[in-house]
Every structure is written in structure tokens, then in C-alpha cells.
Amino acid sequence: MSETQSTTGPLSALRLDERLRDTRLFFTQALRTFHATGSIVPSSPALAHAMAEHVRVRPVSEEPLRIMEVGAGTGAITRGIAAAMRPGDTVDLVEANPEFAGHIERLLETDPVLAPIAPQATVHAMLVDEMGTDRTYDVIVSGLPFANFTVDTVRDILDYYFEVLRPGGYLSFYGYLYTKEVKAVIARREDYLRQARTSWLVQDRIDRYGIRSDKVFANVPPAFVHHLRKPEKSS
């Protein structure tokens, strides 16, 4: 039996001043380092809800989940994960930008959605490739802006995810709709080609391991959420 939760409930309940505070911090950091931040505003509650699918939808009897969120930013997706977590679940929140990592630490003390999971959460203020392989996860939720990275970086990160995922574990990540089309018009040729190579690699992994993709229009910009599953047995 599966349990589902159909609304974005607690995520939409964020106060306007809290939303503005997060958006201001996100925007400031995006101006400073757009390459790593990848967007100018945090993800929407609808995208957070979609990204937390495999934390929320699981058999009632299942063991607690070990979860990793990569690129937690100002906690937009983290709130979706937190709202779906159950007692005993744990989550590692990985964030390379120290401003964002410090913000997440503070939210774990004060935020109405995040404070309840504080005892189950650990913030790692580091690059994901510094996390090491002496760990295993049931669910990985990645908010990294793959479209800004080189194909080698994305391959290393996806290989790492599949190394630390348990067999049968889930990886969820998102990409923005129409990025390739927009880049074809405005980007320099080298940047367009770099992104094309990255998206071919990502598409190859989706073709091999994808179990579902959903469009989320209620986000700026609209996004595609991809859910992949590591095979139970290595092929």
C-alpha cells in the first residue's frame, strides 16, 4: 500500500516575509555566482512537492529512509522533503555555498516546517563530491543546476549518486523546460555545445534508469522533474 499526500499544504503556508527573505538571499547569491546557483529565485512549493515524491509515497511498513538533498539553497525543496518525512527518517543536507548552508542551519531552529525535522537533519557545508562514499541512501533529491555544468562534472556527480544509492533506491532531480531552445538563441556557440553535451548525458541516464518524468508549470521557470531508480541488481 502506498500513502500519498495530494496538496502542498504546509509548504504554501510560509509567511510572505519568510518567502521574501529567502527570495532576497537567493537572488543576491545568484548575482554573485549564477554558475552554481542556476536560477534567480528559489523553487516553488509545487516543485518541492514533486521532488519529494519518493519520500512521501512509500509503503506504510517501510523502514525509515536515509535521504540526501544536494543543493539545498534556501530550503525550498528541503521543506517539501521535511513535510514528507516520518519519525526515524534522516536527511543529509548538502550545500556548497556557505551563505546558504548557514541559512539552512538557522531555518532548522526557526522555520515552522524545518524545525520539527532538526533532530533528523545534518547540514554539510561542502561540495557534493566531498561527501565521500562511506554512506548509503534510499532517496537522493538533487537540486543542482546540471545545465550550467560541464559534461564531465555532471557524469561524476551522477556516478556518485548511483554509487551511494542502495540498489532499488531513488534519485529525483529537475531541469528547466526550454533551456536548450533559449540557449540556442542567446548563448555563445561553445556554451550551447557544452550544454547540449550535458543534456545528452542526462537524457542517456533518464533513458536507462528513468521511471517517471513530470512537468511542473507552477515554478519560475517551469521545470521537468525526473525520477530514476537504481536497479536492484547491477547489470
Ligand X SMILES: C[S@@+](CC[C@H](N)C(=O)[O-])C[C@H]1O[C@@H](n2cnc3c(N)ncnc32)[C@H](O)[C@@H]1O
Whether 187 contacts 155, CB under 8 Å = no
Q: Among 33-41, 59-67, 159-167, 182-190, which window interacts with ligand X (CB under 6 A)?
A: 33-41
Beta bridge partners of 122: 92
**Element (H or E) spanning 194, and its range?**
helix 189-209
CA 95 – CA 226 distance, rounded (Å): 21
- The residue (of 125 and 196) whose beta carbon lies closer to ligand X is 125
CA 39 – CA 157 distance, rounded (Å): 19
CA 94 – CA 110 distance, rounded (Å): 19
Whether 229 contacts 170, CB under 8 Å = yes
CB of 14 to ligand X, least distance (A): 13
Instruction: Give the 3-state secondary structure of residue 145.
Output: coil
Which residues within the stretch 93-152 sit at the binding site for ligand X (CB under 6 A)?
Answer: 94-97, 100, 127-128, 143-145
Amino acid code (one letter) for 70: V
Q: How many residues interact with ligand X (rule CB under 6 A)?
A: 22
CA 185 – CA 130 distance, rounded (Å): 36
Based on the shown chain and the rule CB under 6 A, indicate whether residue 14 belongs to the binding site for ligand X: no
- The residue (of 63 and 129) whose beta carbon lies closer to ligand X is 129
Sequence-distant (≥ 6) Cβ neighbours of residue 21 within 8 angstroms? none
Binding string, 41-80, against ligand X, x = CB under 6 A? -xx--------------------------xxxx--xx---
CB of 231 to ligand X, least distance (A): 25
- The residue (of 92 and 138) whose beta carbon lies closer to ligand X is 92
DSSP state of 44: P
CB of 15 to ligand X, least distance (A): 17
CB of 1 to ligand X, least distance (A): 30
State which of residues 36, 40, 147, 196 lies at the interface with ligand X (CB under 6 A): 36
CB of 97 to ligand X, least distance (A): 4
Interface with ligand X (CB under 6 A): 36-39, 42-43, 70-73, 76-77, 94-97, 100, 127-128, 143-145
